[in-house]
C-alpha cells in the first residue's frame, strides 16, 4: 500500500496532499490493472451490460413490451432468443433487462459502501465506548441473513426501486463497516496519523483526508465485492416478487414468470438466456474485483 | 313418448305441483328451457328424481342419468394432494374465506345439499326440500342414519346450531355475504328430529343453493361444536375424517368407517400445502403427489403436454371484474364517461385472452353482468358478445373528448392469472392511445385498509378506490349475491361505485322473483343496461381446472375447486 | 474478502488465561448483541404498518371485532410491556401465539427449525469436505491448470443465483432424469435414509452455491501458510511434504475456514427462503416469509430472533474452536 512505501522511505506527507511517490504508486497500480487479464475480461463483461442498460432503448430490434401472436416460439432468425408467453421477443427483453438490475444494484452498493465507510472510520478511529456500542449494533444486524431482513423490510415498506436501494444499502453497511474498521485499526498505528494528531488536526480531517485516501484501495475492492452481492440480492428479491413488477423485462422476473414452463421439458429459451445474463454479469463483477484485489494487495 | 312417464307427470301436476312448478313443466314443454336448465331449476325447487325423470321422459328428453360411473376403481391406497396455496387463518368453517381452507374442509365436511358440476342440486345431508307458496319458507327433510366421525348421530339440532352460527352478525361469519338479508339467527327451526324449516326474511327462490357446497362455510357441524375443534378432527360427516392438521404444512385424513355413503375407496388422503405452483407441478410430474388442487396460467402449459397427467375441469362462474370508478371523488374524469369505458371494453381481444390465459378452459364474457351463459340458467344469451373493435373504440374515445387518449394506472392483485391479464389489458388499450401503467400489489395489500370513512366514505383500500382495477370473483351458482353486493347503489363490494336506480329496482325484483320466467325477464333488462353502461368489464368466465396423475379415477372437478373424494381411487 | 477472519488477527489470544478471558468477553458481547437484536427485531415487527387486528380479520370485519382481536392479542398495551412480555416468554420457550393460525408459535417454529437443521446438516456434510479439499488442492498447486479449473468452477457456480441453480437441478436431476425426488419433504414416518434422499437435491444446490466461496477462502489461507516462515522452517527441519501439509498447513488453513463456515450457518438456517420455496420445504426461512406476508407479528419476531440466536451461537462456537486450535501461532500484540 502506498502508505507503507511512504513510511518506509521516512517521508511524511505534508498536510493536505498526497506526495509524488503516492501518485506514482497509483499510476503503477493502474498500469498493472491494465495488464491484468482477470480485470480486463471482467470489465468487458460488465461494460457489455452497462452499454445495453443505457443504449437498449434505441438499439434493440423489438419493443420489449410489445405483445404479438407469435407465442412461445423457439429461437429462429426472426427471434434469436425465441418469444415468450405474450409473444414478446426475448432477445430484446434480455438486452433491455440489464437496466433494471443496473439501476438498483450500483446505487445500493454506493449507499452501503459510503455509509459503511463512515461508520468504519468512526469506530476504527475513535475506539472506546463509541466503537464498542456501534460494533454491538453492527453485530446484531450481521446476525441475520440478508434475505430475512430484506423480506421483512420490503413487506413493510412496499417494493420499489427506492426501497430496494435503501434496504439493500442499509443491509450492506454493517459488513462494509466491519472491513473498513479492521483496515482503519491497522492504519491508526502508523506514523502519519500520529503526526497529524500531533499537528493538532481535528478528527474528521484526519479520518477523511489522511486515512481515507490511504485505504481507498481496499474500499474499492470491497465495493466491487459488494456490487456482486447486491446484484445477487436484487435478483433474489425480484424473483420472490419484491422488486420491479411485470411487465418489466428484468431478468429475474423473466425467470420467475417462466420457470414453471420448464417442467414439461420445453420452452427452455424463456429462462436460459435470462439466467446466463445474470451469471455473466456477476462473473464479470467478480473478475473485476479479483483483478483489483490482486493489484491492491501488493 | 313414455306412457308411464306421462302418467307420473300428470299425477304429480294434478296433486302436488304448485304454480311455479307447473310453469317450469310448461316452459320445458314449450321448448323455452333446455334440459339442463330444467334440471338445474327443478332440483333447486326440490323436485324428486322420479318427478324430474318423469318430466323428461314425458316430454321427449333424454332420461336422467343417475350418476353411474363407467369405471369403479380398486379400494386401497392413499391419495396425495397438493393444495395451493396453504390455508390462511383459523381452520374454522364459518370463517372460511380462501381457497386453501375451503378445499381442506371439503375433503371431510358435508352440506345439506351438494352443487353438482352441471349446476343441479343433489341431496346430501338433506334428502328433499320444499318451499311454501311465496318462497319465504323452505322445509328440508334430513337424511337418517348419519353419524359424525365422533359417533354422535346427526339430527335437526345440528343443522339449526350450524346455521345460527353462520348467520350470527357478531362472530365474523364469512357466510354473511350470502345470508345477510336472507336468513338471520333463529330463522332455522327444528320440526321433529329430521326436519328443519327455514323462515327467510324475504322471498328467495334460490335458497337451497345457499345451503349447498356453493356456500362453502356451511359445513354441517355437531350442535355441541366448540370453536377450535375442527382442526382436531371428528367433527364432520364426510367420507374422510381429519386426523391431523399442521398450519402451512399439510393435513392428513383417514377413511371414515361410519360414512353413510358407504365405504370410501381410498384408505386416506394426505394433503401437502404449497405456497406456489411450480413446486406442486414438479411434485406432480415427479410422482410425489397425485393431484394438484388448481392449475394456473403458466403451470397449465407444462401439464397439458404431459402424458403422465390428466386434466379435470368443471364449468364455473368464476370470473374477473375489471371495475372502473364511475363516480366518487377519486375517479378518473375520463372513466366517468361511459363511452370511454365502452372503448376500453372494445379494445380487448377476448377469444385470444381465453386461448392465451386458459388454453381454452374458459368462455368469453360480455359485459352485461356477472352472468355466465353456461352456468346461470337465467342469463340472457341473446345479449350480443362484445368483440374487439379498435376503430369503434377510437371513435368513442374521440367522441368523449379524448382523441389522443389519456393515462391511468391499472391496479391489480398478484393472484393467479391476474397479473398476466393486467399486462394484456395494458397492451390492448395502448392500441387505442390509452397509456395504462400497472400497479401490481400483493393479494393481501389489495384488500387491506379500511372500508368506510375517509374522503370518499369508502375507506383506504385499493380495491374499492382505484380508478380501474381487477378483482377476482369466485364461482356462485346463482348471480344474486354478486349482483346485490357489486351493482346495487352502496353495495359493499361495488368497486365501480355504480349507481343506477333502475338497476337497483330490477335487482330487487329479481331477488324476489320465484318463477323462472320472471327471473329471466328482470335479468334480461339488467344485462342490457349494464352492457351499455359498462361499469365493469367481464373478460371471461373461467372453468375450474386441476390436474392429477392418470392413476386417479372416479373424480369430478367442482366449480369452486372442492375435492369430493368419496368415490375416488388411485389403483 | 479477508474481513475479520484473516489469519493475521491482531487480537488472537495465546495463553490459556488469555483464551479464557477472551471467550468470556466474547460471551458478554454476544449477550449484549442478542439484547440489541431482540430490541431491533421487536421494533421492526411492531413497525410493520397497519392495525394488526384489521390486517388479520380483513377489511369487512366490524370495528368491534377488530378491537376485541387487538385486545386479545395484547397489542393495545404499552410497547415496553409487550416487549418484556415477549422476551421473558421467549427465554422460557414460550414464543407467543401465532396471529394467523391461533396456535403456539413454538409448535410451528419448532418443527420448521428442526427441518432447517436437517437440511443444513446434510448440506454441511457435503460441502465442507468438498470445499476444503478443493481449496487445499488449488492452493497447493497454485497457478497450475488444476488450480485454475477449481477456481473458475467455483466462481462460475457461485455467480449463478441460487434460484437458477435450484431450478436447473430440479429439472435435470429431478424431472428429466428422475434420479431424485423433487420435493424436499419425505413422507411422514420415513427412516433417516429416505429423509436424506429427499434432502439431497436441495443440498446439491447449496453445495454449488457455497463451494466456490469456501474453497477460495481455504485456498487463500493455504497459500498464506505455505508462504509463511514457519512452513519453510518445517521443511528445513527435514519434515516431509506430507507431514508439513498434514501438520501445519492444513491446521492453519482450517482456522479461517471454520470461521467462514460459522458465518454461513446463519445463512443455512434462516436464509434459505428461496430454496425452501422451490422445494416446498417447511424450513424456518419459509415460515418467516409467510409470517411477514400475512402480518403474523408474533411468529415473525420470534422466528427472526431465533435465527439471530443460532448465528450468534455458531460464531461463538467458532471463536472457541479458533482459540483452542490456535495457541501456537504468534502474532503482533493486541490492538
Chain A, nearest residue to C26 by Cα: A136
User: Shortest CB distance from A144 goes to which of C4, C300, C307?
Assistant: C307
- More confident: A2 or B516: B516
Whether residue C175 and residue B285 make contact (CB cut-off 8 A), yes or no, is yes
Whether residue A259 and residue B420 make contact (CB cut-off 8 A), yes or no, is no
User: Shortest CB distance from C159 goes to which of A186, A265, A286?
Assistant: A286
- Cβ–Cβ under 8 Å, residues B290 and B550: no
Whether residue B461 and residue C174 make contact (CB cut-off 8 A), yes or no, is no
Whether residue A151 and residue C288 make contact (CB cut-off 8 A), yes or no, is yes
- Cβ–Cβ under 8 Å, residues C168 and C175: no
pLDDT band at C15 (very low <50, low <70, confident <90, very high): low
Whether residue A260 and residue B299 make contact (CB cut-off 8 A), yes or no, is yes
User: Shortest CB distance from B427 goes to which of A67, A258, A262?
Assistant: A67
Q: Which residues of B387-412 are buried (b: 16+ CB within 10 A; e: fewer)?
A: ebeeeebbbbbbebebeebbebbbbb
Q: What pLDDT sits at residue B557?
A: 93
**CB-based contacts of C24: which residues, under 8 Å, 6+ apart?**
none
Q: Which helix (H) or strand (E) holds B140?
A: strand B137-142
Cα A248 to Cα B412: distance, rounded to the nearest angstrom: 16
Q: What pLDDT sits at residue B68?
A: 52
For residue B387, give the CATH number of its domain.
3.10.105.10
Whether residue A148 and residue C270 make contact (CB cut-off 8 A), yes or no, is yes
Whether residue B248 and residue C287 make contact (CB cut-off 8 A), yes or no, is yes
Q: How many of the other CB atoms lie within 10 Å of CB of A189?
A: 11
Whether residue B441 lies within 8 A of chain C, CB to CB, comes out as no
Q: What pLDDT sits at residue B90?
A: 84
Q: What pLDDT sits at residue C72?
A: 78
Whether residue A156 lies within 8 A of chain B, CB to CB, comes out as no
What is the domain partition of chain A in residue ranges?
Answer: 29-56+72-297
Cα A177 to Cα A190: distance, rounded to the nearest angstrom: 20
Indicate whether B75 belongs to any domain: no
Using CB atoms, which chains have 3+ pairs under 8 A with A? B, C
- Cβ–Cβ under 8 Å, residues C277 and B275: yes
Same-domain status, B296 and B327: no
For residue B169, give the CATH number of its domain.
3.90.76.10
- Cβ–Cβ under 8 Å, residues B541 and B319: yes
Cα B58 to Cα B62: distance, rounded to the nearest angstrom: 10
- Whether residue A175 has a cis bond before it, omega within 30° of 0: no
Same-domain status, B523 and B556: no
Chain A, nearest residue to C264 by Cα: A145
- Cβ–Cβ under 8 Å, residues C172 and C178: no
Q: Taking the CA atoms of chain B, what radius of gyration do you get in angstroms?
A: 24
Task: Give the closest-approach CA distance of C86 to chain A in angstroms.
Answer: 18
Instruction: Please name which of B27, B31, B30 lies closest in space to residue B42, comparing C-alpha atoms.
Output: B27
**To 10 degrees, the CA torsion angle through B185, B186, B187, B192?**
140
Cα B106 to Cα B98: distance, rounded to the nearest angstrom: 12
Q: How many of the other CB atoms lie within 10 Å of CB of B213?
A: 28
Cα B521 to Cα B244: distance, rounded to the nearest angstrom: 50
Cα C60 to Cα B97: distance, rounded to the nearest angstrom: 12
Indicate whether B431 belongs to any domain: yes
Same-domain status, B208 and B255: no
pTM: 0.86
Cα B113 to Cα B129: distance, rounded to the nearest angstrom: 10
Instruction: Please name which of B79, B22, B519 lies closest in space to residue B264, comparing C-alpha atoms.
Output: B79
Task: Give the closest-approach CA distance of B216 to chain C in angstroms.
Answer: 18
Chain A, nearest residue to C271 by Cα: A145
Residue among C55, C60, C168 with most chain B CBs within 10 A, to mutate: C60
Whether residue B302 and residue A67 make contact (CB cut-off 8 A), yes or no, is no
Residue among C159, C285, C332 with most chain A CBs within 10 A, to mutate: C159
Residues of C whose CB is below 8 A from A263: 171, 175
Q: What residues are paired with C36 via a beta bridge?
A: none
Cα A272 to Cα A269: distance, rounded to the nearest angstrom: 5
Cα A97 to Cα A249: distance, rounded to the nearest angstrom: 5
| Cβ-based contacts under 8 A for chains B and C | 91
Chain C, nearest residue to A223 by Cα: C1
Task: Give the closest-approach CA distance of A286 to chain C in angstroms.
Answer: 8
In CATH, the number for domain A29-56+72-297 is 1.10.3720.10
Cα B291 to Cα B312: distance, rounded to the nearest angstrom: 10
With a cut of 60, say whether residue A73 has pLDDT above it: yes
Instruction: Please name which of C322, C217, C206 lies closest in space to residue C265, comparing C-alpha atoms.
Output: C206
Indicate whether B371 belongs to any domain: yes
Cα C27 to Cα A281: distance, rounded to the nearest angstrom: 41
Instruction: Please name which of A41, A257, C258, C152 lies closest in space to residue B278, comparing C-alpha atoms.
Output: A257
- More confident: B103 or C227: B103
Same-domain status, B389 and B511: yes
Task: Give the closest-approach CA distance of A255 to chain B in angstroms.
Answer: 12
Residues of A whose CB is below 8 A from B417: none
Whether residue A151 lies within 8 A of chain B, CB to CB, comes out as no
Whether residue C335 and residue A137 make contact (CB cut-off 8 A), yes or no, is no
Indicate whether B360 belongs to any domain: yes
Residues of A whose CB is below 8 A from B281: 260, 263
Average pLDDT over residues C34-54: 79
| DSSP collapsed to 3 states, C275-288 | HHHHCCCCCHHHHH
- Cβ–Cβ under 8 Å, residues A278 and A49: no
Residue among A245, A254, A258, A267 with most chain B CBs within 10 A, to mutate: A245
Same-domain status, B35 and B111: no
- Beta strands in B226-279, from DSSP E residues, in sequence order: 240-246, 250-255, 268-273
**CB-based contacts of A115: which residues, under 8 Å, 6+ apart?**
A169, A170, A173, A176, A177
Q: What residues are paired with A36 via a beta bridge?
A: none
User: Shortest CB distance from A152 goes to which of C32, C175, C300?
Assistant: C300
Indicate whether B24 belongs to any domain: yes
Mapped onto helix, strand or coil, the DSSP state of residue B302 is helix
Using CB atoms, which chains have 3+ pairs under 8 A with C? A, B
Q: Is the dihedral of CA C314, C315, C316, C322 positive or negative?
A: positive
Q: What residues are paired with B453 via a beta bridge?
A: B457, B458
With a cut of 80, say whether residue A271 has pLDDT above it: yes
Whether residue A263 and residue B285 make contact (CB cut-off 8 A), yes or no, is yes
Residues of B whose CB is below 8 A from A73: none
* Number of domains observed in the structure of chain B: 4
What crossing angle do the helices spanning A269-296 and A20-35 adopt, rounded to 10°?
140
Whether residue C108 and residue B246 make contact (CB cut-off 8 A), yes or no, is yes
Q: What residues are paired with B137 via a beta bridge?
A: B199
- Cβ–Cβ under 8 Å, residues B163 and B215: no
Indicate whether B450 belongs to any domain: yes
Q: What pLDDT sits at residue C285?
A: 92
pLDDT band at C58 (very low <50, low <70, confident <90, very high): low
Task: Give the closest-approach CA distance of A100 to chain C in angstroms.
Answer: 16
Instruction: Report the length, in residues, of chain A.
Output: 298
User: Shortest CB distance from B305 goes to which of A65, A69, A264?
Assistant: A264
Same-domain status, B350 and B222: no
- C 14-53 near B (Cβ less than 8 A): 50
Task: Give the closest-approach CA distance of A173 to chain B in angstroms.
Answer: 29
From first to last of its 571 residues, chain B has per-residue pLDDT tens of: 578 888 888 888 888 888 888 888 888 888 878 888 888 888 888 888 888 888 888 888 887 776 555 567 888 999 999 998 888 888 999 999 888 999 999 999 999 999 888 888 999 999 999 988 888 999 999 999 999 999 999 999 999 999 999 999 888 888 988 888 889 999 999 999 999 999 999 888 889 989 999 899 999 999 999 999 999 999 999 999 999 999 989 999 999 999 999 899 999 999 999 988 888 998 998 889 999 999 887 777 778 878 889 999 998 999 999 999 998 777 788 999 999 999 999 999 999 989 888 888 899 998 999 999 888 888 888 888 899 999 999 999 999 999 999 999 999 998 888 999 999 999 999 999 999 999 998 887 888 777 777 777 888 889 999 999 999 998 888 898 899 889 999 888 899 999 999 999 999 899 888 788 889 999 999 999 999 999 999 999 999 999 999 999 999 999 999 999 999 999 8
Whether residue B448 and residue C279 make contact (CB cut-off 8 A), yes or no, is no
Task: Give the closest-approach CA distance of C244 to chain A in angstroms.
Answer: 27
From residue B289, alpha-carbon distances to B239, B272, B568 in Å are 20, 8, 15
User: Shortest CB distance from C280 goes to which of B274, B447, B492?
Assistant: B274
Indicate whether B70 belongs to any domain: no
Task: Give the closest-approach CA distance of C87 to chain B in angstroms.
Answer: 24
Query: What range defines the domain where residue B366 resides?
Result: 315-543
Residues of B whose CB is below 8 A from A246: 419-420, 422-423, 438, 440
Residue among A124, A129, A133, A144 with most chain C CBs within 10 A, to mutate: A144
Task: Give the closest-approach CA distance of A279 to chain C in angstroms.
Answer: 5
Question: DSSP code of B565?
Answer: -
Amino acid at each position: 500500500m502506498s502508505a507503507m512505501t511512504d513510511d518506509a522511505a521516512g517521508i511524511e506527507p505534508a498536510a493536505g496532499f498526497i506526495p509524488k511517490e503516492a501518485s506514482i504508486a497509483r499510476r503503477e497500480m493502474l498500469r498493472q490493472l491494465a495488464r491484468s487479464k482477470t480485470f480486463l475480461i471482467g470489465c468487458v463483461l460488465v461494460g457489455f451490460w452497462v452499454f445495453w442498460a443505457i443504449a437498449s432503448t434505441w438499439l434493440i430490434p423489438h419493443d420489449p413490451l410489445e405483445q404479438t401472436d407469435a407465442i412461445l416460439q423457439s429461437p429462429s432468425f426472426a427471434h434469436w432468443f425465441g418469444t415468450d408467453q405474450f409473444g414478446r421477443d426475448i432477445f430484446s427483453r434480455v438486452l433491455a433487462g440489464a437496466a433494471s438490475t443496473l439501476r438498483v444494484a450500483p446505487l445500493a452498493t454506493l449507499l452501503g459502501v459510503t455509509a459503511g465507510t463512515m461508520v468504519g472510520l468512526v469506530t476504527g478511529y475513535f475506539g472506546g465506548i463509541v466503537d464498542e456500542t456501534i460494533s454491538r449494533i453492527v453485530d446484531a444486524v450481521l446476525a441475520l441473513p440478508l434475505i430475512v431482513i430484506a423480506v421483512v423490510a420490503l413487506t413493510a415498506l412496499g417494493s420499489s426501486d427506492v426501497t430496494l436501494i435503501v434496504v439493500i444499502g442499509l443491509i450492506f453497511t454493517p459488513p462494509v463497516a466491519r472491513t473498513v474498521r479492521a483496515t482503519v485499526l491497522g492504519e491508526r498505528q502508523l506514523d502519519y496519523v500520529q503526526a497529524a494528531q500531533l499537528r493538532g488536526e481535528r478528527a474528521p480531517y484526519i479520518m477523511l483526508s489522511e486515512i481515507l485516501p490511504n485505504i481507498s484501495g481496499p474500499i474499492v475492492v470491497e465495493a466491487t465485492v459488494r456490487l456482486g452481492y447486491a446484484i445477487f440480492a436484487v435478483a433474489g428479491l425480484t424473483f420472490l416478487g419484491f422488486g420491479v413488477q411485470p411487465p418489466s423485462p428484468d431478468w429475474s422476473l423473466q425467470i420467475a414468470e417462466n420457470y414453471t414452463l420448464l417442467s414439461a421439458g420445453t420452452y427452455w429459451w424463456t429462462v436460459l438466456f435470462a439466467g446466463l445474463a445474470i451469471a455473466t454479469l456477476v462473473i464479470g463483477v467478480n473478475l473485476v474485483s479479483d483483478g483489483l484485489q490482486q493489484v491492491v494487495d501488493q | 313418448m313414455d306412457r308411464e312417464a306421462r302418467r307420473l307427470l300428470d299425477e304429480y301436476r294434478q296433486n302436488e305441483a304448485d304454480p311455479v312448478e307447473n310453469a317450469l313443466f310448461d316452459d320445458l314443454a314449450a321448448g323455452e328451457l333446455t334440459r339442463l336448465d330444467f334440471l338445474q331449476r327443478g332440483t333447486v325447487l326440490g323436485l324428486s328424481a322420479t318427478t324430474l325423470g318423469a318430466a323428461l321422459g314425458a316430454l321427449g328428453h333424454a332420461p336422467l342419468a343417475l350418476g353411474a360411473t363407467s369405471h369403479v376403481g380398486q379400494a386401497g391406497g392413499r391419495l396425495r394432494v397438493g393444495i395451493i396455496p396453504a390455508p390462511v387463518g383459523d381452520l374454522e368453517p364459518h370463517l372460511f374465506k380462501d381457497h386453501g381452507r375451503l378445499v381442506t374442509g371439503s375433503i371431510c365436511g358435508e352440506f345439506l345439499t351438494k352443487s353438482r358440476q352441471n349446476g343441479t342440486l343433489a341431496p346430501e345431508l338433506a334428502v328433499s326440500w320444499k318451499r311454501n307458496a311465496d318462497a319465504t319458507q323452505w322445509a328440508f327433510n334430513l337424511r337418517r342414519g348419519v353419524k359424525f366421525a365422533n359417533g354422535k348421530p346427526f339430527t335437526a339440532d345440528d343443522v339449526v346450531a350450524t346455521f345460527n352460527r353462520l348467520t350470527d352478525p357478531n362472530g365474523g361469519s364469512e357466510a354473511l355475504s350470502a345470508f345477510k338479508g336472507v336468513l338471520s339467527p333463529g330463522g332455522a327451526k327444528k320440526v321433529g328430529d329430521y326436519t328443519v324449516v327455514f323462515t327467510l326474511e324475504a322471498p328467495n327462490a334460490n335458497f337451497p343453493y345457499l345451503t349447498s357446497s356453493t356456500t362453502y362455510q356451511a359445513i354441517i357441524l355437531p350442535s355441541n361444536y366448540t370453536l377450535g375443534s375442527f382442526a382436531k378432527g371428528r367433527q364432520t360427516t364426510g367420507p374422510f375424517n381429519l386426523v391431523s392438521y399442521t398450519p402451512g404444512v399439510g393435513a392428513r385424513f383417514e377413511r371414515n368407517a361410519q360414512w353413510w355413503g358407504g365405504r370410501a375407496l381410498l384408505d386416506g388422503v394426505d394433503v401437502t400445502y404449497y405456497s406456489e405452483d411450480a413446486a406442486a407441478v414438479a411434485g406432480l410430474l415427479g410422482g410425489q403427489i397425485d393431484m394438484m388442487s388448481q392449475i394456473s396460467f403458466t403451470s397449465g402449459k407444462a401439464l397439458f403436454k404431459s402424458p403422465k397427467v390428466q386434466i379435470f375441469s368443471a364449468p364455473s362462474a368464476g370470473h374477473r371484474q375489471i371495475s372502473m370508478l364511475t363516480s366518487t371523488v377519486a375517479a378518473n374524469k375520463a372513466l366517468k364517461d361511459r363511452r370511454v369505458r365502452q372503448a376500453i371494453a372494445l379494445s380487448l381481444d377476448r377469444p385470444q385472452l381465453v386461448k392465451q390465459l386458459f388454453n381454452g378452459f374458459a368462455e368469453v364474457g360480455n359485459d352485461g353482468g356477472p352472468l355466465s351463459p353456461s352456468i346461470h340458467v337465467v342469463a340472457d344469451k341473446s345479449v350480443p358478445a362484445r368483440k374487439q373493435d379498435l376503430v369503434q373504440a377510437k371513435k368513442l374515445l374521440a367522441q368523449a373528448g379524448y382523441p389522443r387518449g389519456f393515462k391511468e394506472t391499472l391496479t391489480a392483485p398478484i393472484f393467479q392469472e391476474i397479473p398476466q391479464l393486467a399486462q394484456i389489458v395494458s397492451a390492448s388499450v395502448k392500441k387505442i392511445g390509452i397509456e395504462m401503467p400497472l400497479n401490481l400489489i400483493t393479494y393481501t395489500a389489495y384488500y387491506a385498509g379500511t372500508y368506510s370513512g375517509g374522503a370518499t366514505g369508502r375507506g383506504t383500500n385499493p380495491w374499492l378506490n382505484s380508478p380501474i382495477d381487477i378483482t377476482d370473483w369466485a364461482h356462485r351458482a346463482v348471480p344474486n349475491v354478486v349482483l346485490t353486493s357489486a351493482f346495487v347503489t352502496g353495495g359493499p363490494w361495488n368497486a365501480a361505485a355504480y349507481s343506477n336506480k333502475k338497476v337497483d329496482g330490477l335487482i330487487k325484483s329479481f331477488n324476489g322473483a320465484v318463477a323462472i320466467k320472471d327471473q329471466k325477464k328482470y335479468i334480461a333488462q339488467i344485462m342490457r343496461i349494464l352492457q351499455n353502461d359498462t361499469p365493469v368489464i367481464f373478460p371471461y368466465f373461467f372453468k375450474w381446472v386441476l390436474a392429477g396423475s392418470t392413476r386417479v379415477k372416479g373424480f369430478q372437478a367442482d366449480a369452486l375447486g372442492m375435492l369430493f373424494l368419496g368415490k375416488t381411487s388411485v389403483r | 474478502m479477508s474481513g475479520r477472519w484473516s489469519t493475521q488477527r491482531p487480537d488472537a489470544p495465546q495463553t490459556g488465561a488469555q483464551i479464557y478471558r477472551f471467550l468470556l468477553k466474547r460471551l458478554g458481547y454476544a449477550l449484549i448483541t442478542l439484547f440489541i437484536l431482540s430490541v431491533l427485531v421487536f421494533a421492526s415487527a411492531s413497525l410493520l404498518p397497519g392495525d394488526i387486528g384489521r390486517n388479520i380479520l380483513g377489511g369487512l370485519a366490524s370495528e368491534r371485532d377488530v378491537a376485541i382481536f387487538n385486545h386479545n392479542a395484547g397489542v393495545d398495551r404499552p410497547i415496553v410491556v409487550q416487549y418484556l412480555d415477549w422476551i421473558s416468554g421467549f427465554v422460557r420457550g414460550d414464543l407467543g401465539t401465532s396471529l394467523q393460525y391461533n396456535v403456539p408459535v413454538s409448535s410451528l417454529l419448532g418443527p420448521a427449525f428442526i427441518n432447517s437443521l436437517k437440511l443444513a446438516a446434510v448440506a454441511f456434510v457435503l460441502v465442507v469436505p468438498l470445499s476444503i479439499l478443493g481449496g487445499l488442492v488449488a492452493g497447493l498447486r497454485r497457478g497450475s491448470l488444476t488450480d485454475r479449473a477449481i477456481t473458475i468452477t467455483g466462481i462460475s457456480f457461485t455467480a449463478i443465483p441460487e434460484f437458477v441453480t435450484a431450478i436447473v437441478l430440479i429439472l435435470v436431476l429431478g424431472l428429466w432424469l428422475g434420479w431424485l425426488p423433487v420435493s424436499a419433504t419425505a413422507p411422514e414416518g420415513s427412516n433417516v435414509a429416505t429423509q436424506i434422499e429427499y434432502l439431497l437435491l436441495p443440498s446439491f444446490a447449496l453445495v454449488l452455491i457455497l463451494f466456490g466461496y469456501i474453497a477460495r477462502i481455504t485456498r487463500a489461507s493455504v497459500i498464506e501458510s505455505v508462504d509463511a516462515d514457519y512452513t519453510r522452517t518445517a521443511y528445513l527441519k527435514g519434515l516431509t511434504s506430507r507431514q508439513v501439509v498434514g501438520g501445519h498447513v492444513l491446521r492453519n488453513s482450517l482456522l479461517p475456514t471454520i470461521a467462514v463456515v460459522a458465518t454461513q450457518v446463519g445463512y443455512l438456517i434462516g436464509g434459505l427462503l428461496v430454496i425452501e420455496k422451490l422445494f416446498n420445504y417447511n424450513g424456518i426461512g419459509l415460515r418467516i416469509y409467510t409470517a411477514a406476508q400475512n402480518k403474523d407479528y408474533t411468529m415473525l419476531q420470534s422466528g427472526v430472533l431465533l435465527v439471530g440466536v443460532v448465528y450468534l451461537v455458531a460464531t461463538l462456537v467458532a471463536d472457541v474452536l479458533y482459540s483452542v486450535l490456535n495457541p501456537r501461532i504468534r502474532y503482533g500484540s493486541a490492538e
